[in-house]
Amino acid sequence: MIQLNSNKQDFDMYQSPIIYNKQKNVIIIRHKFNIYIIRELNDGKFKIVKQLKFNTNKVYGTITNDGSYLVSLNDQDKLYSIDELIYK
């Protein structure tokens, strides 16, 4: 079980899909003001390995097919950002 940040004052935009990349064993979830990068550990548990926080809940993102980059857009800044995902 993973605990995402809870904030009962702000509603969640439910338009972002949950993305799973089997090659990198990573799950991308957008929840409220955050994009979470989650990995499954060897024992079957899950761990948040990175959390990107935005100033708006209107955040959209996806990862490249090879799982190397996260591309996101937030409605407030109207800018795309590209983050390299480094797996250890």
DSSP characters for 37-69? EEEE-TTS-EEEEEEEE-SSS-EEEEE-TTS-E
Residues 3-50: tens digit of each pLDDT: 666 665 655 556 678 899 988 889 998 888 888 899 988 888 899 988
Tell me which residue of 25, 75, 73 sits closest to 52, measured CA to CA: 73
Output the pLDDT for position 3. Answer: 65
> Domain map of the chain by residue range?
19-84
For the entire predicted model, the pTM comes to 0.78
Output the pLDDT for position 59. Answer: 81
Output the pLDDT for position 54. Answer: 83
Q: Are strands 69-74 and 79-84 parallel, antiparallel or unpaired?
A: antiparallel
Q: Which residues contact 71 (CB under 8 A, 6 or more apart)?
A: 61, 62, 63, 64, 80, 81, 82
DSSP 17: P
